[in-house]
Amino acid sequence: MFHDTVATETEFFRVKVFDTALKNKFIPQKIITISHYFGANGFLEIYGASWEMEVVVYGQLTSIKCEPDNKLRLFCFELTSREDTWQLKYVRHSYMQVVSARRRGTHP
């Protein structure tokens, strides 16, 4: 377990992270989304990560081509819940960028 602090535009939160493999996610100036947590004694308690989340897009973003090894950078998406799942939803200023595996240097 380790402790850290995360912030929104208006608030700071102390966090307890119980999965030490997540330590590399908690670095200054990095944007992360925390969706599975519990509030207890003034802390957010985080027990694990889940890199699967439904993303809902509309309009011209639906024509962006993405290969299985590519990564997506999502900007200005809204985190919402639907039934038992969380999803990132396209809003007016949303933007999506494909980062190809080749650009990351994983292929010759």
Q: Residue 106: is its pLDDT beyond 50?
A: no
pLDDT number for residue 101: 66
**Are residue 43 and residue 62 in the same domain, yes or no?**
no
What residues make up the domain containing 22?
A: 1-49
pLDDT number for residue 63: 82
Share of the chain above pLDDT 90, in %: 0
Other Cβ atoms less than 10 A from the Cβ of 17: the count is 24
**Are residue 58 and residue 107 in the same domain, yes or no?**
yes
- Whole-angstrom Cα distance, residue 72 to residue 56? 13
Q: Cβ distance 47 to 60 under 8 Å?
A: no
Q: Cβ distance 44 to 13 under 8 Å?
A: yes
pLDDT number for residue 78: 81
CATH of the domain at 41: 2.40.50.140
Q: Residue 104: is its pLDDT beyond 60?
A: no
**Are residue 40 and residue 62 in the same domain, yes or no?**
no
**Are residue 41 and residue 58 in the same domain, yes or no?**
no
